[in-house]
Structure 1
């Protein structure tokens, strides 16, 4: 019996090791034996990891920042970029924002976010995977900000307008929703400053799938079509090593650029080594003063730059942005997708993060929204809301969990925050409980017997402060306005507000529905259907179909 078990274990281990070869096109050995570690890979003194080790058919798999360490049934250690037949996608673990008492914490501070990758990634789970996404893959603000809203255009000295609307909340009895909507000034493509773009492309073996490198090439072709003579493109690839495929080339040489793109092929291990350093070096060589200087990374997230510590990598990218070069991440593929890395790198690099799951999404990001993707009109945008204890009892910020700032960070111009691209719209919701109403929290014995002092300031729910910097400037500008005590039924709100509430409810439901109250999937679908006007590209109708898919999967 023991002999049979040993034979079975050995056979299964051989099968798993052989499966890794699917990530490589060459016939070279897939797994290279590494020196045996002094302790098992899953113990505390092993290399830094992002999660717990997993046992799978006789092989111990340990997730690491840019790859995986294996220990087979015989105790031999291996390293590889991605394990076979195991979903190793990685997401940032974030708890939803809690409820705050205004009497104790009247001030809320956060950075704006224009990323949209979470929406497209969740869509991929629902449409192609036929299953609900992991809760950590859902970020409410990226769901809401995936859509354009018809806010008023800026008319004064500031590069964006600020719009507020207060409605009855569909989630919590007695609650109100305060919507803060920002609209950045538009720039026509011909108005964009000249662009210095560096494409950093993952061509490792794990990119050899239809939804990876072939889709990357389609995406780059779309961007190439938009280039002007004053724009320059550099193309760098990385796999077993980094390679300068195309030196800085003018946008009027589209055939030359397309030829370089068309010749890209996947193969080799995922090891970028000094690829990102090369990308910054090339971007600095072609730096355009007062222009657009940006690196665009296209990868499935197994992005290895020779740095194994996540914090060190972010710090390096954050330091590089001081040179005026921003970094945008474009995510592709499934199975081994490292979404946490993609989203956090874009944040550190003052860029934006998008997930490209279809050619249609590529057109949205790099064709219709090219200006907002590339051109920044306001940097380090921070929002601080001070709630009035006379009129507001409790509040919670909907989403933006990984964008929270300390209150003292608001005035500190050395603290990084999000940027807004030309034409971008950004939306944020606070759910509040007006004073005197029953909310999420129980009144304490003494609080219940304490009357607030009479105040003349009973006409404001809150005071909104915003800080931002003009591009390439170091001193922030303050913008302030009061949020009045007013409200309307949700049914009487603008179609944009009603639709944004439906999207936020959809995201909250995918995260477990803890804050959705009695709102059901059918209510979310109904609210979206009644507010889908201004749907030029059919994105709102697509959302309704996604909500229906989620509803059916939830029923199962």
Structure 2
């Protein structure tokens, strides 16, 4: 080996020689012969010393330097496949140098596992083996865009020393060093929120009662925003501002509202006025609705079509695999007489499972297991086929629901989103509603998902964990699938003798015009069985130092006759499921201010948390610590730990927002 080393030193000191194909072939043959000889000698030595005490190692657990030889040979073979480029003596000598620098007494050997052969901390400092001329020559010889990649062992070995000579010789320009020192154990890239789209509007401002005494909005029982916020925080970053929809945050949590009286309206109303935690000169008006929850045996049969996105973007573990696990949970909650069908869509749409009784769970689960991600996303074709299939399943007195499960990456087939929404709106008239489940991050098209769910009279939820799937598809399944009231609208008329200003916290995407309230042609949200709706106003009493709007000269406040002691007047409109005419409920709002209940305090803490995430200008010095303290003191009954989780997330957001 002395002569070989002398030749190696001479080669390293010399300039780049001219390419010589014949010499290249001779050098490669010599190198391979030297490799084989070294391996044979070491293998014989290892067999002599360990034969009596150690079982033979499997072929994929050879000593690390032996596997490095294989990787070097594979790399050289790959490099010689480029007919237009000639490998030179420098490239061969570089391969020999990699072998020589790894002595047998380093921190790995035949008795260690191949996945952990290298001891990074104890590996000796390696000398600089390659100078710039040799590196330049190696770069010229290697076209890594077409050559086979080095073996995992070569990547691992070169990664440790840098970290060998290649990483220390021209790391800025060397293709070789950049490729071979790449970290094969790199963690997944962080979420790129720049490719995501969220449905939101600018936060509502303060409105003077003298200018606009009436506030109108559609109810919202979606919860997607909270799960997206949690996903961002658990990945170590604050959520995108536009992803924060405060009404969805507040409505994520259950509240102890009284149930409606049997035989009456499908929901009961709870009202309360209490001091504002972030402003002592304003008050919080808390409006709560509790939907009736009929007995399970009284609900009608369900026809359910799973419309599943199987495009290439769904292959991540938190997308299609989690989707399958989630739907497995849901199937256990269906009754035997319910029917299930599955439509998958990617480059094209197709029925994976024809309508099947829910009692045949093995058949349904087998169809789910066959789903694989691949192709582009023909979302429109999938929707059309799902509705067509739902039409064939419809029966008298039955409920039809399409459940779209996707990451929202509709990149094929939706050329006119407004036309698609119109298509879904027409289909809901037939009784087939559409709900949307979002999965995964990175290309989440929340805006499209929200638009489709609203057009389809359904809910939108985002599932980031199997625990969230349990909440949405098991604990709240009946509310997700069975409506007790449609087109539910809320209108509050404030008494100008009591209230100077108001601000609705959230519901920016659900705002309605005043005249929309009595117009039964205007669509609004639905309330499912057992669902709750929570809305919060921050109101400023007349005479308060917190009033922001100057009084009008020609419109003095007047007290309506009989309105003394009323903060305002609440009106609700709703339709029976499948109905065309709305019903009206009216309730005066007492002006009496009382100590906030546990439910009001917690809802207000979450609303304040949302405003902090959106950078609200109305909170003064109130901060995450104050929000955490308020939420922590208002946990109340928390059987599933949702409120405890909220407290942890508030504190985490406070740490990240510094």
TM-score normalised to structure 1 length: 0.82
Contact 2:377 2:413 in 1 (8 A): no
Contact 1:274 1:305 in 2 (8 A): no
Pairing 1:229–2:332 present: no
Partner of 2:496: 389
Q: Matches of 1:543 and 1:207 in 2, distance apart? A: 28
- Three-state SS of the structure 1 residue aligned to 2:195 is coil
Pairing 1:244–2:347 present: no
Partner of 2:307: 200
Partner of 1:322: 429
- Three-state SS of the structure 2 residue aligned to 1:438 is coil
Q: How does 1:272-311 map to 2 (within 5 A)?
A: 272-304=379-411, 306-311=413-418
Q: 1:15 to 1:222 in 2, by over 3 A?
A: farther
357, 363, 371: which one aligns with 1:256: 363
143, 147, 150: which one aligns with 2:249: 143
Pairing 1:505–2:608 present: yes
Partner of 1:523: 626
Contact 2:200 2:508 in 1 (8 A): no
Partner of 1:438: 545
Contact 2:517 2:573 in 1 (8 A): yes
Contact 2:379 2:414 in 1 (8 A): no
Q: 1:109 to 1:86 in 2, by over 3 A?
A: closer
Contact 1:275 1:305 in 2 (8 A): no
Pairing 1:359–2:466 present: yes
Q: Matches of 2:408 and 2:220 in 1, distance apart? A: 20
**What is the Cα deviation at residue 494 of structure 1?**
1.5
Q: Matches of 1:291 and 1:451 in 2, distance apart? A: 53
Pick the structure with more helix per residue.
Answer: 2
Partner of 1:265: 372
Q: Matches of 2:284 and 2:196 in 1, distance apart? A: 34
627, 630, 636: which one aligns with 1:533: 636
**What is the Cα deviation at residue 271 of structure 1?**
2.6
Contact 1:99 1:440 in 2 (8 A): no
Contact 1:115 1:354 in 2 (8 A): yes
Contact 1:187 1:371 in 2 (8 A): no
Partner of 1:9: none
- Computing the radius of gyration from Cα coordinates, the structure with the larger value is 2
Q: Matches of 1:207 and 1:364 in 2, distance apart? A: 22
Partner of 1:75: none
Aligned-pair RMSD on alpha carbons?
A: 1.9
Q: Matches of 1:480 and 1:342 in 2, distance apart? A: 33
Q: Matches of 2:560 and 2:496 in 1, distance apart? A: 11
189, 199, 202: which one aligns with 1:95: 202
Q: 1:213 to 1:99 in 2, by over 3 A?
A: same
**What is the Cα deviation at residue 436 of structure 1?**
1.6
Q: Matches of 1:148 and 1:337 in 2, distance apart? A: 26
598, 601, 607: which one aligns with 1:495: 598
Q: 1:344 to 1:454 in 2, by over 3 A?
A: closer
**What is the Cα deviation at residue 272 of structure 1?**
3.5
User: Which runs of 5 or more residues in structure 1 are unaligned?
Assistant: 1-13, 17-83
Pairing 1:474–2:580 present: yes
Pairing 1:176–2:283 present: yes
Q: How does 1:40-55 map to 2 (within 5 A)?
A: none
- Three-state SS of the structure 2 residue aligned to 1:408 is helix
- Three-state SS of the structure 1 residue aligned to 2:538 is strand
Q: 1:271 to 1:244 in 2, by over 3 A?
A: same
Q: Matches of 1:221 and 1:291 in 2, distance apart? A: 23
Q: Matches of 2:498 and 2:598 in 1, distance apart? A: 27
State which drifts further: 202-211 or 165-174.
Answer: 165-174
Q: Matches of 1:347 and 1:427 in 2, distance apart? A: 18
- Three-state SS of the structure 2 residue aligned to 1:550 is helix
Contact 2:376 2:412 in 1 (8 A): no
Q: 1:15 to 1:285 in 2, by over 3 A?
A: farther
81, 95, 118: which one aligns with 2:225: 118
Q: 1:93 to 1:15 in 2, by over 3 A?
A: farther
Q: 1:454 to 1:132 in 2, by over 3 A?
A: closer
**What is the Cα deviation at residue 305 of structure 1?**
6.1
Q: Matches of 2:420 and 2:521 in 1, distance apart? A: 19
**What is the Cα deviation at residue 224 of structure 1?**
1.1
Contact 2:319 2:439 in 1 (8 A): yes
587, 590, 606: which one aligns with 1:484: 590
Contact 1:195 1:288 in 2 (8 A): no
Contact 1:380 1:419 in 2 (8 A): yes
- Three-state SS of the structure 1 residue aligned to 2:429 is helix
Contact 1:113 1:141 in 2 (8 A): yes
User: Which runs of 5 or more residues in structure 2 are unaligned?
Assistant: 1-142, 146-190
Q: 1:273 to 1:416 in 2, by over 3 A?
A: closer
Q: Matches of 2:298 and 2:320 in 1, distance apart? A: 31
- Three-state SS of the structure 2 residue aligned to 1:268 is coil
Contact 1:135 1:510 in 2 (8 A): yes
Residues 1-23 of structure 1: CA distance to partner in whole angstroms, max 9, x if unpaired? xxxxxxxxxxxxx999xxxxxxx
Contact 1:231 1:251 in 2 (8 A): yes
Q: Matches of 1:238 and 1:167 in 2, distance apart? A: 50
Q: Matches of 2:222 and 2:546 in 1, distance apart? A: 32
165, 173, 178: which one aligns with 2:272: 165
State which drifts further: 534-543 or 188-197.
Answer: 188-197
Q: Matches of 2:455 and 2:562 in 1, distance apart? A: 43
The number of residue pairs the alignment matches comes to 470
Contact 1:121 1:355 in 2 (8 A): yes
Partner of 1:4: none
Partner of 1:133: 239
Pick the structure with more strand per residue.
Answer: 1
Partner of 2:33: none
Q: Matches of 1:329 and 1:458 in 2, distance apart? A: 46
Q: Matches of 2:228 and 2:322 in 1, distance apart? A: 15
Q: Matches of 2:508 and 2:562 in 1, distance apart? A: 34
Q: 1:442 to 1:101 in 2, by over 3 A?
A: closer
TM-score normalised to structure 2 length: 0.69
